[in-house]
Each structure stands twice: as structure tokens, then as C-alpha cells.
Structure 1
């Protein structure tokens, strides 16, 4: 179990905590307690259900209809990829429309294939065919208009910004037939982790002086591979990575799940949580201090630190969750081991997300496999 650090304990106002549902669509929890008792520790973690969620539609600069196929979110920016391998970005308040970013990686005027997008806590990255992992920083492109009148005037333009201040991570451009071809990436707080076709795992720390990126090297997380070999009798291979901010998770085709953090070095073995091994875990989402796990069949688990009773673990009242191992730590709650989040109306979870002190899920009441 990782050491879950949290903010200093403090008295906070008592916002309403809700799970927001959109029909059979999304659910969000983690906005704070809503019970009327006087003592915060009596009701932290509880939540109610609301049938209405506030959804903001993100606009973008283009007269054409754009079909987006993937998104990735950082601390205060969003990246999106359309079906023509164009990358769009939204920044901070998301009031201004998203803008298309252009790169000098084209063939006959067509952008190189973008395999993966990864918005870090404070940077952006993309895995691009015949280029490798490209990293750029949001404050270097400044694509957004400064006034509402500029937004209105430009809204229907095909406005784009060329990204010229970028770095290509060394040794990340590998041939398509190579076992070292990169197949997945995640981005966190000044670091990212990438996975190769043969299942090797690498971690790259972004130096404080960005000019040093080109002379920096990734470290190979060999102890992750050794632990997987031991638990899977040598037949398992890593196939997926996810994470944000400080933590990352690695999933294997042998149904093993390992956790790592920003501080990990070549000497650190993975964190292995027994409750996640060989149970059909297909996705892990990480917030600042808490974790979600989605199991095959739509079962949802949570664990970690629930900061100041924000409700991010979704485990209900402390009087109930304490029976499942929840403990108090000042104004916070800690759930050391993964526990199931019970979904009303026998709902099943299709996808999960987490960030900061929030958690979310896409839920259906239809049967699933």
C-alpha cells in the first residue's frame, strides 16, 4: 500500500456531496459531505444521488464537424485527438474554444499517426509514429484569445497554432517491427512512464531545466518485470498503464496489477495489493490520494485517502464504512484496502475516472458480460 499523503487537516465548509447521474450515463462523486450532523467525523464520506449533472460542452475552432476519438486531462488542460490525427487543446477555464495544434511531423501534408495522447499534470505529450514521444508545455504555446470579443470573432475560424517549442524524448522512436516499440504511455507530475511491445517498463523524469530533456535518460523498472515473472510463473506480460499526478498503475495479461509512484527509482519494487490480483481488473484510475479499480463485469472498488470528507471514495457514511476498514486521520478518512462501491439499482460500471479529490464513472443498469 503506498504512503498516501494528504493536505494538512483543516476545518472546511460543508459543501453538498452528490453522485450526479445522466440517465444511464455518468456518475460523479467526491464533492464533500451533506449530512446535517454537527460533528464532521460523523458524516464524512456520505453522499446522496442527484438525477441532474451539470455538463459543459467544450467548443472548438472549426467550421467543420470534428469527430474526437480520445481525450486526456491534466491539472488544468485537456488534450483531444480527432479521427484525422489532429490534436486539440483546451486550457484552464475551458471558456475559450479548443484550438488545433500543428506539428512539423507530416507526410505529403498528412499528419503522422498519433498512437497515444497523455496530458501530464503540467505538460502534454503524444506518441507519434516515426517520431517517438513528443513533449511540450502549455505555457509555451499560449493559443487562447484574451477577451470574449475575440472568442466570438474567432469562434468559427479554422484557427490553429503551430507548436515549435517541443522536445522528442531520446530513444523513443523505434521501428514498427521492434520489440522496443512503445505501445502505451502515461503522464504525471513532471514524469511519465511508457511500455514497450515486449512488456518492458520505463520511467522518464522531466528535468527542471527543460533544455536538458534531450540529454536525459529513462530508467528501466526491472523490478516490476521480475515481480510479474514471479507471480505469473514467467508467462505474464504488461499490456496497459494508467495514472495521473503522483501515481501510476500497470496491468498485465495475467491479471496482475502493480502500483508505482513518481518517486520510484530502479531500486523500488512495485506495490502489490493482494485484493487486485487475479480478480479481473481491467482499469485503474488515480486521484491525488485515492484510487479506483474497475473489474470485469462492472464491479467498482476504491481505496486510499479521502481528503477532508470529500466523498471521493464513495463508501457512504463512516458508521458503515468503518466496518469495512475505514479509519479516521484528522479530518481525513483512510481506506487501506480496496472495497466495493455499491451501485444503486444493480448498476454496472463501464468506465472510471479520477483526479484531484473527485471520482467518476459511467454506469448502466443493462446486463453486461
Structure 2
């Protein structure tokens, strides 16, 4: 009998997945098209492959919550090539948003001649158009007074200032980006070729309050401080050896020892996770006076966070009794954050630990936060900054603050289990709702969902627009106090308030904020809306439902080939009083959404329209007249909402809102609100 010819399809899946990472995306897809066996989802949509391919090609940070979602990673890979866009919103002081048309000023330092100019803060997400010239944006983070972008080539660009306490507010060249530079002697010419140098091609970075840390492809740590145009410092340690490589090829097993896994820039602390050493802390580095030419800083004093060095090595023949005990009691660190006064880390045993900073960031001990332990022993994740953090476990999101950590720390001797210590919050709309990540500012935070939507929470100080909800009371923001701080009403925490990127929705909200079709008829309803927070909360929920899923309308849906919608957020960031996001924009679907908002208006006549003319809303200068009747700049057309009145609802307590128009229905049903949420 002739011997059967072996085929690659005979190999088991666990062998095939070891081969796939050696193929680029076109080669992998070509392989999958060769036979039906490779068309099965477990191969064609292998999560490990597409996660690796996306993160390798575009330097996208890992997202542990969705690391096993192969369909998502494949769609992101395909769309990032052409559709990634950068949006920012919130306080525009110091030019931190990167919007070229906006003027920047510092609080309390406004030029008297500009006092009567309109507020330049940005309450609605606005694209940073110059970012398109940088190519694909892999990551984006906010600092205290800045916003920084990482390109797929490993270059960092920043707008704003790194340290607003040190840099004069008027000592800036405007809102244009500046590339973070390196000391003399490193490649600094035009083009992308220079970033092929592994010592300066940044693979991961972190923005702190007033400094930035980056780790290069080679594993070298760089630190920027004070001003954007000051070259970075290469960070080295007196007592810790950093193992650098020459490429981005993964290293496994014992080869990881001394390699830098990630860096985290905290409020006033620098840190890195180093294999074999654990979490290392040090004070941010700066050049001393007279040492402007220095390119390296040798850090004399470092702090190693206790019990963070353990790593599980596959195939290890034996472990010491000490290592074995550490692996059973603490586990291997998966992720960590650095807050103002605490370091918090999670391990592969589903446990959460924290340590408090002492003098010079010293951490003498760490304690387990037992109330956050995952009883199923499956991994958890932690995200946070400044004074706030979130724990992700089993599709739950638990938010808290440093006050809770301090209470647990103070009780570590007499109440080590943390029984009945208050401070853990479970916001309803964050639970079992596909939350991937949370970005915290000083008083607000934003959640990114696996659906590509962003929801906003908290308070935007002095109506700066950090929530990204347009600053509108129709979205559930109530402005109070001398500074007109905008606080989200309790109604907004049951199902959330989505950050909208469609410009048509901005016009839609403006129309209803002015009373809709008949402002006089709606006058009493609007006064009721403005005077009663409960009424405002319910009406805002009605608008939230009406504003959702415009790109899922039957007239639009057929243009959405991959189902990600017109605007699909990849990441979200926040700090201080501003926010940002990287968003995949499907212009074909976005244009279809716009077209679906426009109809002919026989009452306004009709003008001839050329084939390439697009129906765009006109300039906002004449909004009062145009928006009041729902018209657009092109003669003969109007918005679909032009004939709609301000909503009239039957409220949850049975009260009928006044007016003569018919009652409005709830698109998805009136919610059962949870109004006792403490945020």
C-alpha cells in the first residue's frame, strides 16, 4: 500500500498557531484561501494571530479584555490602514487639543482684549486634522496639559505643554504638533527611515501629569520633561541592568530577564515593569543646570515594589521554595498603574494588590485588596490614573479612588480582609456591557465599549466640555455654581451617555435646544425641563435613545460592510480637563448617515444640484434663522427633524408635560432608572 502523503492540514491546531505569526497578513489570508480546512473560524479568525498582526504592524497597545476576540482584531487591522482618525475635546488651554483654529489661554491669565470672544473650549469631539499627515496613529494619551500621539512608525508627537506649572502659557508656537526628539547623535532627518533605528522607535509610551515615558523597540527607556522641544533622556539604573535587543522579535523563557515590559508615568513618579525585577519606581529625571548636552541619566535611587518579580516560565524544571510560595500567594503581575500616592497591580491569580508611597516613593510592603479578588481565580485587569482607578473582572467594572486604598491601608493590621470598607462603586451601565477600558480625568471619566462606543461620566469643570456631550442640558448635564460646572445627572448612569461623533447630531441638538419646530408652543415644557432635574434627566434619556444607532437605519445599513458603523472608537484617553479618542471613520457610512438626515423641502423651492455637490450643513454663523426652521444651506432641502416639536413626554411619575402636540413615544422603552448611584 502506497504511503499517504502528509499535508499541512494534518497538523493539529496548536501547532499551526505557532506557524501563523511568521506570516504577514496577506500571506496568512492567502494560506487560508487555499482550502476549506483553513476557512474555519478557529483558523481564519484566530485571535492570537490577528492580535499579534495588528499590534506588530500598527503598535496598537494590547487590550486584555478583548484579546481573544479574533473577529474584532481582524476588522481593526483592515480598517486601520485607511480609516484611523484622531478626535479631541474639552479644555483647549495651552493648545492641548491640537485644534489649529482655536486660541489658547491659561485660566486667570486671559488677555483683556479677548474677554468678549467666544469660549474656545471644545464640548463636542472635533477631528485633529493635521494628525492625518502623520499616518496611522497607534496610541494616544493625555497628560495634564498635553496630548501625545504615537504613530505606527514609532514616533511621538505632542500638542500643548508637558508641564504647565513650569512653561509659560504664551511660550508656545500655537496648536501645531511637535515631534518629541532625542539627544544629538541620534537620527533626526525627515521621513520615517530614521525610526527603523530600534533604540528610538517607540513601541509603548505613557503620559504622566507633566512627563512622558517611552520604551523603544530595543527595550531602552526614554523620558521627556518640562518642554516639548527638550530632547529625551536615556534612563539607566545604577543597580538594575536593562537588557536591550536589536529588534522587536518576541523573546520567551529565560530570555525575558532584564527586558522592559512596559513603562507607566504617574502623577509625580516614573516606573517600569522589568522581567526578573518587577515594578521599579524612580523620581522623574531632569538635566541639571549646565548639563544641557547630557543624553543619559543614571538613576542612583530606585524602588523595587515588593513581591512583583515572579514570572511563570513554561517548561521550568524546578522552582525554589521561595518562588513557589510567591507564585501561589501572589502570582505573576499582569498589569499595574501608578496613582498619586499608590501603586496598584493585578496578577494571574485574579488578585489585586496595592502599596503606598513613602519618602522618595519607597514602598515597604504591599497588601491584597481582598474585596476585589476574583473568586474564580481568573485574571483581572486594572486601569487608572491620578486618584481614580477601575478593576475589570468577569465583565464587571468596579470603580474607586485613592480614598478607598487609604482606608484599606489604614486597616491592614486589624481588618486585613477589608470587610465593610466603603468606596467600591458599580455603575449600572458599566456592568456586563462590554467595557474594554476606562480613561480618567481629574473630575470626569470615559468608558470604551467593545461596540466601539464611548460613554461619559462625572463632571466637566467650568463647562469645559471634557465629557464630549456637547455641553448640552439635553444630554443630561446640569450646570451649577459660580464656575458653571457641568455635572451629569443620576439618570445618565443607568444606560450611559454616548459620545457622538456625527456632526449632524450637533445640529440636531441645537435645533431642539432652541425649542424645535414651534418654540412658543414648547415654552412651558422647556421651562419645566430647565427647572426640574428629574424632568431634565428623563427628557435627556429620550434624546439619548433617539440619537443612538443612526448608522443602523435600514437606509444606511447596507453601506456598512463590516458592521463597525460610521464611527468606531479604538481607544479613549483623558487627563485633567480634556479627552481624546482614536476613531475608525467609515466615510461611506458617515456620508450615508448625512444623506439620510436630509429631505427635499417643497416650501423653500428647489435649486439645481450638480452630481458632485454634497449636501453639507452651512456655516454656523446664521444658525438662529436656519436651525429654527430646520433648513440647510442648499436651497430646496431641509433636515428630517425640521417639523418636529420639542418632545412632550408622559413622565415616569404619571405627570404629563404641558403642550398641545402629541406625546412622544420611547424608541426603546422607558428605562427603570437606578438613581441612587454614588459616583
**TM superposition score category, shorter chain reference:** 0.7 to 0.9
Offset, 1:48:
7.1
Q: Secondary structure at the match of 1:106?
A: coil
Q: Secondary structure at the match of 1:272?
A: coil
1:355 matched to 2:575? The reply is yes
1:263 matched to 2:403? The reply is yes
Change (3 A) 1:366 1:52: closer
- Identify the match of residue 364 of structure 1 among 579, 584, 599: 584
Offset, 1:134:
0.8
Q: With the length of structure 2 as denominator, give the TM-score of the two structures.
A: 0.43
Correspondence list, 1:123-134, <5 A: 123-134=269-280
Q: What is residue 101 of structure 1 aligned with on the other side?
A: 235
Q: Secondary structure at the match of 1:25?
A: strand
1:195 matched to 2:346? The reply is yes
Q: What is residue 18 of structure 1 aligned with on the other side?
A: none
Q: What is residue 15 of structure 1 aligned with on the other side?
A: none
Deviations 1:334-363 (A, max 9, x none): 114231111127311111110000100001
Offset, 1:269:
5.3
- Identify the match of residue 143 of structure 1 among 284, 287, 293: 287
Using the alignment, how far apart are the partners of 2:214 and 2:382 within structure 1? 19
Offset, 1:32:
5.9
- Identify the match of residue 168 of structure 1 among 287, 291, 304: 304
Q: What is residue 311 of structure 1 aligned with on the other side?
A: 465
Q: What is residue 210 of structure 2 aligned with on the other side?
A: 76
Deviations 1:255-286 (A, max 9, x none): 11111211113334521111011111111100
Using the alignment, how far apart are the partners of 1:108 and 1:249 within structure 2? 32
Change (3 A) 1:25 1:205: same
1:224 matched to 2:389? The reply is no
Q: Secondary structure at the match of 2:178?
A: coil
Structure having greater relative contact order (Cα 8 Å, sep ≥ 6): 1
* The structure with more strand, counted as a fraction of residues: 1
Using the alignment, how far apart are the partners of 1:302 and 1:56 within structure 2? 29
Change (3 A) 1:92 1:80: same
Using the alignment, how far apart are the partners of 2:305 and 2:343 within structure 1? 11
Q: What is residue 13 of structure 1 aligned with on the other side?
A: none
* The structure with more helix, counted as a fraction of residues: 2
Task: Tell me if structure 2 keeps the 8 A contact 1:238–1:251.
Answer: no
Change (3 A) 1:268 1:176: farther
Greater Cα offset, 108-117 or 170-179: 108-117
Using the alignment, how far apart are the partners of 1:27 and 1:162 within structure 2? 38
Indicate the structure (1 or 2) with the bigger Cα radius of gyration: 2
Using the alignment, how far apart are the partners of 1:108 and 1:125 within structure 2? 16
- Identify the match of residue 500 of structure 2 among 342, 346, 353: 342
Task: Tell me if structure 2 keeps the 8 A contact 1:77–1:89.
Answer: yes
Deviations 1:89-134 (A, max 9, x none): 0002222111111124337887811122111100111111111111
Change (3 A) 1:68 1:45: closer
Give the unaligned 5+ runs of structure 1. 1-21, 230-234
Task: Tell me if structure 1 keeps the 8 A contact 2:283–2:360.
Answer: no
Offset, 1:317:
3.7
Change (3 A) 1:241 1:146: farther
Using the alignment, how far apart are the partners of 1:328 and 1:218 within structure 2? 41
Offset, 1:58:
0.7
Deviations 1:107-164 (A, max 9, x none): 78878111221111001111111111111011xx3237769xx4xxx4xx8x211111
Q: Secondary structure at the match of 2:403?
A: coil
Q: What is residue 30 of structure 1 aligned with on the other side?
A: 90
Offset, 1:182:
1.0
Greater Cα offset, 94-103 or 51-60: 51-60
1:277 matched to 2:497? The reply is no
Correspondence list, 1:207-218, <5 A: 207=358, 209-210=359-360, 213-214=362-363, 216-218=364-366
Offset, 1:50:
5.6
Change (3 A) 1:101 1:320: same
Task: Tell me if structure 2 keeps the 8 A contact 1:255–1:280.
Answer: yes
Change (3 A) 1:271 1:237: farther
Using the alignment, how far apart are the partners of 2:311 and 2:377 within structure 1? 24
Q: How many correspondences in the alignment?
A: 318
Q: What is residue 182 of structure 2 aligned with on the other side?
A: 60
Change (3 A) 1:203 1:305: same
Q: With the length of structure 1 as denominator, give the TM-score of the two structures.
A: 0.77
Offset, 1:45:
7.2
Alpha-carbon RMSD across the aligned residues, in angstroms, is: 3.1
Q: What is residue 192 of structure 2 aligned with on the other side?
A: none
Give the unaligned 5+ runs of structure 2. 1-81, 94-101, 103-115, 131-175, 188-196, 246-256, 314-326, 409-420, 504-565, 590-679
Task: Tell me if structure 2 keeps the 8 A contact 1:326–1:334.
Answer: yes
Change (3 A) 1:25 1:236: farther
Offset, 1:297:
2.5
Q: What is residue 644 of structure 2 aligned with on the other side?
A: none
Task: Tell me if structure 2 keeps the 8 A contact 1:203–1:221.
Answer: yes
Q: What is residue 246 of structure 1 aligned with on the other side?
A: 387
Deviations 1:203-243 (A, max 9, x none): 21112x237x25x2222111122xx55xxxxx474432111
